[in-house]
Chain A
Amino acid sequence: MKEGYRCKRVSWELLIAVVLSLSVVQAVAAAELHVASDTLVRVFERDTTEGEDKTVVPGYEYLQVDYGSLKEKGLSFHIYGWGRLDLASSGYYDDDNAGELLYGYFEYAHPGTNASAKLGRFYVFEGVANEAVDGLALKSDVTPYFTVSAYGGFPVALDSTNGRDSDSIIGGRLSHHLASWYDIGVSYKNTENDGDDAEEMLGVDLSLNLPFNVSLFGFSARNLDTEGWAEHSYELGIPVAGLLLRPYYQKFQYEDYFGTGALARNPFLFEAATGETLEVVGGDITWPVSKAWELGAKVKYLDYDVRSGSSEYYSALATWHGEKLTQIGGEIGYANGTAGNNDYWLGRLFGYYDQIQQILPNGFVTGDLVYADYNEDIFGESDSLFVSLGAGRRFLDDALEIKLSGDYSSDPFFDEDFRGLLVAKYVFDR
């Protein structure tokens, strides 16, 4: 089937599905409507198939519609996707237009309970699952001590890999919890591509409240195809004298974590073949000094089984909070070690001035600066500088926000790169 014909057919099917869906949900008493639209127009220059220094002007639309019982449990419909047009036909993109339906589903949430059902295209973030599924998902508490969820359908991630015939994904999670003391879950996921196993994972997740307000969180995932433990990630949350300490340990076995089935793609397919094991020991500290000031620091030590040497990362940040969203902050970090084949210092300064009474009572101005200094030159350059300035204003009782920003980058890939972005953000609620 030709790509263009398939897109048109999908578009008509989608339109009919949306109209029918809204007709069904209309039957629900007191249906609410929420529409959010982000329209973006970028402008920059690139060397393309059409020539050098061509002006590229992509226009993006991100559209979200929610309809039905949105503030109370009940029946609702949700859809979100994006599209892009190359407005200048610059030849920069492989296709002049692109887009994706990120989700579109009916949801029924049973009043007075945590039970819910989703039908359509939706995301599952649970246990071993970080998936988009075209299918059905169910979730419910079973007594105050257990929660069970299950999903099944077609994996969206594989819809462009040899078609969708004989593709499938099933999975679920069963958890046992006792008030706020602990929650232990077991999750499973099986993905098939063209009738063959693509991925089969089993996971265990744990949260445990210990004395003195200390908490333990952990997650382990086993790849049942490669029969190895893909990941172990465990951390403590330790509040001490107003600070929060978070020491953690992680271990990844690349062959099991990245896998080699139909889901695997480069560069991860290459990493899986190395047989590497990565161990990470680290910690971060956050300190909300006052309502205005917030400090943080993190340190990370990475060690490898196959590769010689190790790596470290250190960073510290400070943020001052003013009224509304006004903030000024900075962060400095350092990454070094033999694994990266290079070290770098990274610094960031940002400011966001919200609702400037004298000039922009209904708007903001903002700036961002990111600087990286590399130990070894990359393409003959020893550093990268990125600067962005922007402003915005709200109209129509804050329903419409227009934002304009420009940025400049000088780095190993671009000598002097200027880019502009205009955003119109509109929210409609009824």
Chain B
Amino acid sequence: MPKRIINPVVIPLLCLAFLAACASMKGGMVFPVKHPAELEQGKRPTCTECHEARSETLNYARYNHTAFFADTHRQEAYQNEQLCAMCHETSFCNDCHATRVELKPSLKNQTDNFRRMPHRGDYLSRHVIDGRIDPTSCFRCHGNPKSAITCKSCHG
């Protein structure tokens, strides 16, 4: 069988077969597609209002959306993306984490002043200072060739 047929067909089929085999095994806590109880749109949820801080299967307290959760949610998302996806569609994350968007989050959602968002106000002046102090904080959203287009007009 020609190699050019094997790779794009056989390899994905093998991967899917492996997935099916894994899926048939008993796993850990199963996350539903959507959070079972309807949560009020726009309000930051405190998971421990309904759940104990630590159950046998999950540290619920970790996912409380505290005042600074928008600044600190990285590790929660990197370890448990499926949990975030119960309430947040990827389009929500794309306001900040996207290959390329033109509008900064606080401009695209200008009237959502109850949300904690980066770059409010005149960030053009402040970013010069913040970028010198800690450029790693810029890199997470602006660190690939497409998202760095925002920087290109001044930084080359």
Contact = CB atoms under 8 A, between A and B. Distances in A.
A183 B29 CA distance: 13
A152 to B, nearest CB: 9
Contacts of B125: 372, 374, 378, 384, 411-413
B108 A123 contact: no
Interface stretch (A2-10, A11-19, A21-29, A77-85): A77-85
B67 A319 contact: yes
A78 B27 contact: no
Contacts of B68: 246, 284, 286, 296, 298
B151 interface: yes
Given A125-B93, A140-B22, A209 B27 contact: no
B89 A64 contact: yes
A88 interface: no
B2 interface: no
A126 interface: yes
Contacts of A87: none
A227 B81 CA distance: 28
A280 B12 CA distance: 43
Contacts of A144: 26-28
A219 B75 contact: yes
A353 B93 CA distance: 25
A123 B121 contact: no
Question: B30, B91, B133, B152: which has the most chain A beta carbons within 10 Å?
Answer: B133
B133 A335 contact: yes
A364 B111 contact: yes
Contacts, number: 311
A409 to B, nearest CB: 6
A202 interface: no
Which applies to chain A's interface (DSSP): helix, strand, loop or mixed? strand
Contact of B62 (A123, A145, A237, A295): A237
A135 B86 CA distance: 23
A18 to B, nearest CB: 16
B28 to A, nearest CB: 4
B66 A286 contact: yes
B135 interface: yes
A168 to B, nearest CB: 12
Given A100-B100, A311-B133, A364-B111, A73 B33 contact: yes
A385 B91 CA distance: 31
A136 B20 CA distance: 15
A407 interface: yes
B131 to A, nearest CB: 7
12 contacts: A122-B90, A142-B22, A144-B26, A179-B28, A180-B56, A205-B78, A250-B136, A265-B148, A268-B148, A284-B72, A344-B129, A384-B125
